[in-house]
């Protein structure tokens, strides 16, 4: 276990008067009281909360009880500071059962906490035989063009007093389930998107409050979704199968200990209702006149409904759900309802978002309202949909003629800021229309705000592009006929994503699909889940997601499981590159390269923005191999450490020979080439400074502009900071003319654009074949803002912020920055401001961690903490003066530093 720094050991012997340490925020498998866990040893995490400085956990004890409150595990008092991912080590856990757990801790001041408030988890169905339900399919002949949503129902009765009830549900296609007219859960697009034929998730719901004593009805509606809907390009459908199927199992437990199962089988009935058509790209048609009124309640006569077909479909690939489901989030009201120059009625919601429009309307039966969706208006102010390509993004609602009707689609989502409404009966008023954002229900973990409002808007844009593209899987874009899990985009954005939200389970799930869809040769597909061809794989910087993302998650969350889970997938990818190399030079195959780099029309001066693709592939070959070595070290696989270290040396030698001159000039003189060569340590130490100088010269040649594409952009500012060019990094960040991060902000963007010039300075658009206005890749600058301006990072050797590095950088025109980040241990925050030659610097470090804090200051003597000079403070250790910083080591607590700061 982690050793306590000397300064913390000291604290064992003094016991000041502080409140008792409390244990809070209990998580199982990183979730709050999860239902449906299918690992044999779920991992438990908690946080210590206390107000004294340098608080660490000295020991812990866990107890677990079963449903009948009988103890099933009492751990020993374990002398350890581990408070995250502690595995359950009691007896075997039973399918479908609930377990309660509590934890207590002893801190380094010798105090013992009380037992925590109990938390719980429920096991999922651990064995195939636990599934009593059968796969059912609608029994009528389907309209194979429109493919209306099938509905299923089953009446049943209960006779005894109900103690609890659980529903286990999955489907081919998307499902929404109901019990006695009430929706089961509040998730959308269930069962989520996985590599369906290899891993199909089921969800588990506590439906106790929905079941009645007496007559009940359970029902479900299905949508084509990713399973069989249009995906990838026009006309392509049925990626996983042609038919929609439902698998549902209800287990009702009575107070007398007996239980009853209600499961999908031949006794169910099927029919269609108001959803005539439903496609993710194209939208939904809902004819409310066709609603089967009362079908979700009893009594209801379903004799005219069809029977169902029972199918012996596989269940061996059913898995519990690891990640947070998609839920409804922010609601946007109409900011403006107006007529465009083309005389179209358009609503502006003020934010480019992903979700759908909700309508509230009164009219006659048969009145038809069409809602179209767009991200932008064109130069003339007209509704612009060309960049959606073949995606229609069109919802149609046909009224049934009730007094007030409400509509929202069920199995589709749109990417939009503007809605065009056609056929609304009467005047469309703000109270008739709103927009709801839908995205994976991830905990928001990061806040970054500064004195510069353009940068604050940039940060919001990054967060909105993350929200819009974290809809169960990480997608490239959410609006055109694509919306796929492009590996390269996810790879470049993962670290930023992990600052903004807790993406651990989100990526843990997606990486399982990545491994599942990896080709037999070890190559990694361009998109995950892979709905392209088997050969659409192996592009550098894209396929490397299979190594870079597991490592990024490990660094952020300190979870070695993710490395174990992905290890053989990671190895296969490295081995693939090696096999496809000649003399360790990986210069074969198709690569996207530095996708969407800046392509100037006037590049006549010998400047360069185009990077040789094989130079890039050699850099990523090295980087992934480097991360493989680190992974093997963490997992104690010494043989692999040796093998991959030898490989790495050869990769770098091959790079030098093929792509550099003797003096260290690269054959592509671009920003991306120098950024990758420097960030991945491709050059020997002696050649690095000159390379950094060439990078800076290139930036100057472009008049202080970046020219990088997807692969160079994430590391550009990091490299500049590392080699002492912080001011250049700040200049790039603050550059307002194209290409830059702030150019779209100045053009009114509310999300990150796919291209640096999605909309040109004259307000015309880039090529509509590739022009998304919601593409997070360039938002990868967020990582630099959090880590460098905010100064919050962790150490590879103490990942997951067990040991924290705080090192803010003051620069550009910023006079203040506030950065907060929720880690597994609790909140880290930094807040700096400069005024009148003085720096105020407040820091919060959570309990059970240690920190090295770099305080910007000219000398040690000028620094105070809460008005005391540093030498008067026992609880922190002044380590050294380093450059423009005073470095201290300490532990948890709130610190308020002041220092002289020339400005
Ligand atoms: C996507 C990208 C993706 C790329 C591959 C595009 O169509 O939108 O973001 O990474 O293809 O280069």
886 CA from centroid of ligand 1 (Å): 45
Three-point CA angle 790, 796, 797, nearest 5°: 125
542 CA from centroid of ligand 1 (Å): 10
Contacts 24+ apart (CB under 8 A), 299-303: 299/215, 300/153, 300/155, 300/217, 302/153, 302/155, 302/269, 302/271
Predicted pLDDT of residue 903: 57
Pocket residues for ligand 1 (CB within 6 Å)?
476-477, 482, 486, 488-489, 592, 595, 775
Per-residue pLDDT averaged across 799-804, rounded?
A: 98
CA 121 to chain centre: 23
Mean pLDDT rounded to a whole number for the chain: 95
Residue 57 main-chain phi, psi, to 5 deg: -80, 130
Is residue 582's pLDDT more than 70?
yes
Per-residue pLDDT averaged across 185-190, rounded?
A: 98
Is residue 4's pLDDT more than 70?
no
Pick the atom of ligand 1 nearest to 595's CA. Answer: 12
Contact 218, 207 (CB under 8 A): no
Is residue 14's pLDDT more than 70?
no
Predicted pLDDT of residue 607: 72
- Catalytic: which of 279, 284, 324, 482? 482
pLDDT single digits (tens) 422-480 = 999 999 999 999 999 999 999 999 999 999 999 999 999 999 999 999 999 999 999 99
pLDDT single digits (tens) 287-324 = 999 999 999 999 999 999 999 999 999 899 999 999 99
The residue whose C-alpha atom lies closest to atom 9 belonging to ligand 1 is 476
Q: How confident is the model at residue 18 (pLDDT cuts 50, 70, 90)?
A: low
Predicted pLDDT of residue 51: 79
Is residue 657's pLDDT more than 90?
yes
Q: How confident is the model at residue 8 (pLDDT cuts 50, 70, 90)?
A: very low
Per-residue pLDDT averaged across 250-274, rounded?
A: 97
Per-residue pLDDT averaged across 791-805, rounded?
A: 98
Three-point CA angle 543, 547, 553, nearest 5°: 125
Per-residue pLDDT averaged across 822-840, rounded?
A: 96
Predicted pLDDT of residue 13: 40
Contact 871, 878 (CB under 8 A): yes
Instruction: Record the pTM.
Output: 0.96
The residue whose C-alpha atom lies closest to atom 3 belonging to ligand 1 is 486
Predicted pLDDT of residue 234: 67
Predicted pLDDT of residue 402: 84
Q: How many helices (H) and strands (E) does the chain have?
A: 15, 44
Is residue 52's pLDDT more than 90?
no
In this structure, the number of other CB atoms found within 10 A of the CB of residue 239 comes to 18
pLDDT single digits (tens) 546-566 = 999 999 999 999 999 999 999
User: Which among 391, 489, 752 is the best mutation to test ligand 1's pocket, defined by most ligand atoms within 8 Å of the CB?
Assistant: 489
Residue 754 is a catalytic residue: yes
pLDDT single digits (tens) 377-410 = 999 999 999 999 999 999 999 999 988 999 999 9
Is residue 6's pLDDT more than 60?
no
Is residue 11's pLDDT more than 50?
no
Instruction: Write the DSSP assignment of 122-164 as a string of letters.
Output: EE---SGGG----EEEESSPP-TTT-PPEEEEEEEEE-S-EEE
**Helix orientation angle between 487-500 and 713-722, rounded to the nearest 10 degrees:** 60
Q: What 3-state class would DSSP assign to 801?
A: coil
Predicted pLDDT of residue 12: 41
Predicted pLDDT of residue 333: 98
Q: Give the span between the Cα atoms of 737 and 735, in whole angstroms.
A: 6
711 CA from centroid of ligand 1 (Å): 12
Predicted pLDDT of residue 9: 43
156 CA from centroid of ligand 1 (Å): 49
Residue 646 is a catalytic residue: no
pLDDT single digits (tens) 73-99 = 999 999 999 999 999 999 999 999 999
Predicted pLDDT of residue 17: 53
């Amino acid at each position: 276990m982690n050793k306590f720094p000397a300064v913390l050991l000291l604290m064992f012997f003094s016991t000041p008067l502080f409140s008792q340490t409390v244990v809070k925020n209990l998580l199982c498998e990183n979730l709050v009281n999860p239902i449906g866990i299918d690992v044999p040893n779920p991992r438990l995490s908690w946080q210590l909360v206390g107000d004294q400085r340098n608080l660490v956990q000295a020991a812990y004890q866990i107890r677990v009880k079963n449903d009948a409150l009988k103890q099933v595990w009492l751990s020993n008092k374990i002398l350890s500071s581990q408070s995250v991912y502690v595995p359950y080590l009691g007896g075997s856990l039973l399918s479908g059962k609930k377990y309660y757990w509590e934890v207590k801790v002893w801190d380094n001041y010798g105090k013992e906490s009380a037992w925590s408030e109990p938390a719980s988890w429920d096991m999922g169905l651990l064995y195939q035989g636990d599934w009593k339900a059968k796969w059912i399919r609608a029994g009528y002949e389907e309209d194979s063009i429109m493919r209306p949503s099938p509905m299923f129902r089953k009446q049943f009765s209960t006779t005894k007093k109900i103690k609890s009830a659980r529903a286990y549900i999955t489907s081919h296609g998307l499902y929404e389930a109901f019990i006695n007219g009430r929706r089961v859960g509040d998730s959308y697009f269930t069962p989520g998107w996985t590599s369906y034929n290899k891993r199909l998730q089921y969800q588990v719901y506590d439906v106790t409050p929905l079941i009645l004593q007496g007559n009940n009805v359970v029902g479900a509606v299905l949508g084509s979704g990713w399973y069989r809907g249009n995906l990838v390009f026009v006309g392509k459908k049925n990626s996983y199968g042609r038919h929609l199927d439902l698998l549902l199992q209800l287990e009702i437990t009575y107070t007398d200990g007996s239980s009853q199962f209600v499961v999908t089988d031949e006794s169910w009935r099927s029919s269609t209702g108001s959803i005539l058509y439903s496609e993710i790209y194209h939208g939904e048609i809902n004819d409310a006149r066709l609603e089967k009124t009362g079908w979700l309640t009893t009594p209801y006569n379903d004799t005219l409904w069809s029977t169902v077909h029972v199918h012996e479909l596989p269940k061996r690939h059913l898995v519990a759900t690891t990640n947070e489901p998609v839920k409804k989030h922010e609601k946007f009201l109409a900011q403006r309802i107006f007529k465009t120059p083309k005389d179209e009625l358009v609503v502006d919601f003020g934010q480019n978002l992903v979700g759908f429009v909700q309508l509230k309307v009164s009219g006659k039966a048969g009145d038809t309202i069409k809602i179209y969706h767009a991200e932008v208006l064109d130069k003339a102010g007209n509704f612009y949909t060309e960049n959606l390509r073949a995606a229609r993004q069109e919802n149609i609602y046909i009224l049934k003629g009730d007094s007030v009707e409400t509509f929202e689609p069920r199995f589709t989502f749109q990417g939009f800021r503007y809605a065009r409404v056609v056929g609304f009966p009467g005047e469309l008023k703000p109270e008739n229309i709103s927009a709801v954002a839908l995205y994976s229900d991830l905990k928001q973990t990061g806040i970054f705000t500064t004195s510069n409002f353009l940068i604050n808007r940039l940060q919001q844009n990054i967060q909105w592009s993350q929200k819009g593209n974290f809809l169960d899987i990480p997608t490239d874009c959410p609006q055109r006929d694509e919306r796929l899990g492009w590996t390269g985009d996810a790879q470049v954005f993962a670290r930023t994503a992990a600052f903004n939200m807790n993406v651990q389970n989100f990526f843990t799930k997606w990486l399982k699909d990545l491994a599942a869809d990896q080709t037999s040769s070890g190559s990694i597909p361009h998109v995950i889940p892979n709905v392209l061809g088997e050969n659409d794989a192996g592009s550098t910087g894209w396929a490397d997601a299979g190594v870079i993302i597991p490592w990024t998650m490990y660094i952020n969350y300190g979870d070695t499981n993710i490395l174990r889970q992905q290890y053989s997938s990671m190895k296969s990818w490295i081995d693939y590159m090696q096999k496809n190399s000649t003399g360790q030079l990986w210069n074969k195959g198709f690569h996207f390269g530095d996708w969407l780099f800046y392509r100037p029309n006037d590049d006549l001066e010998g400047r360069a923005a185009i990077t040789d693709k094989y130079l890039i592939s050699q850099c990523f070959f090295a980087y992934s191999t480097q991360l493989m070595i680190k992974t093997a070290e963490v997992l104690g696989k010494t043989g692999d450490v040796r093998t991959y270290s030898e490989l790495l040396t050869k990769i770098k030698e091959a790079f030098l020979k093929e792509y550099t001159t003797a003096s260290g000039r690269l054959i592509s003189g671009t920003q991306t080439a120098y950024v990758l060569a420097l960030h991945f340590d491709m050059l020997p130490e002696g050649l690095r400074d000159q390379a950094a100088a060439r990078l800076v010269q290139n930036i100057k040649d472009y008049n202080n502009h970046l020219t990088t594409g997807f692969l160079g952009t994430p590391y550009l500012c990091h490299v500049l900071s590392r080699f002492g060019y912080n001011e250049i990094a700040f200049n790039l960040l603050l550059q307002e003319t194209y290409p830059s991060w702030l150019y779209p902000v100045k053009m009114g963007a509310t999300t990150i654009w796919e291209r640096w010039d999605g909309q040109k300075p004259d307000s015309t658009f880039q090529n509509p074949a590739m022009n998304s206005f919601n593409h997070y890749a360039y938002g990868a600058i967020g990582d630099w803002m959090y880590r460098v301006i905010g100064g919050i990072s962790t150490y590879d050797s103490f990942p997951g912020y067990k040991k924290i590095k705080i090192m803010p950088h003051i620069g550009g025109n910023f006079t203040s920055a506030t950065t907060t980040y929720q880690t597994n241990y609790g909140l880290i925050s930094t807040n700096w401001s400069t005024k009148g030659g003085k720096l105020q610097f407040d820091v919060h470090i959570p309990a059970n961690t240690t920190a090295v804090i770099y305080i910007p200051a000219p000398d040690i003597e000028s620094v105070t903490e809460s008005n005391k000079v540093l030498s008067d403070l026992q609880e922190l250790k002044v380590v050294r003066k380093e450059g423009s910083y005073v470095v201290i080591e300490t532990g948890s607590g709130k610190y308020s530093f002041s220092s002289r700061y020339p400005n």
